[in-house]
Amino acid sequence: MSLLEQGNVDEKLTKLVMELRRRGLRITAQRLAIAKIVFENIKDHPSFMQILEKVRSSMPGISPSTVYNNLQLLEQLGLIKSFDVAGETRYDDIHDHINVVCIDTGKAFDLDDEEVVNIIKEKLSSKLGKARIRNMILYVECGASGPG
Ligand SMILES: [Zn+2]
């Protein structure tokens, strides 16, 4: 992880603590540890099972529902978002970007192009006014067969 990404993770954790405090929610070491792992891996668009596996490598006894509830909370607080790929929920970073999803392999990656994103926003606002973009997903086919 680069210094920039590490800074980004720290920033998100600070934001999380602020939001938890503001809402009178408990700030526990476990909650922060889970959030840290989520933020560190969010660029890979992980599924719930992938996140659970990462969390369990440092907290072996943790229950799936605890991890799930924490993911729900992070999403409610606006610190992550999610979308579906072939019926599976994938978690994602909230910055404005285009997600490229391969329907053959299920792989997802970010297309970070501010210029393109801004053009899409402009076109959209000329048609829909104040509509906010929730997610931009570009489905592609790479031709390889998927994992199942
Ligand atoms: Zn993304």
Measured in Å, residue 21 CA sits from the centre of ligand 1 at 28
Measured in Å, residue 35 CA sits from the centre of ligand 1 at 17
Both structure tokens of 84? 């579906």
In the chain, where are the structural domains located? 3-81, 98-140
Measured in Å, residue 61 CA sits from the centre of ligand 1 at 30
Span 3-81: which CATH code? 1.10.10.10
pTM (2 d.p.): 0.87
Both structure tokens of 69? 């509830």
Mention every residue, 6+ apart, whose C-beta is less than 8 A from residue 125. 131
Q: What is the reported pLDDT for 86?
A: 83
Please give the helix or strand (H or E) that residue 111 lies within, else none.
strand 108-111
Report mean pLDDT in 10-residue bins for the chain, 148 residues: 82 97 95 97 96 96 97 97 91 94 90 92 89 89 72
Span 98-140: which CATH code? 3.30.1490.190
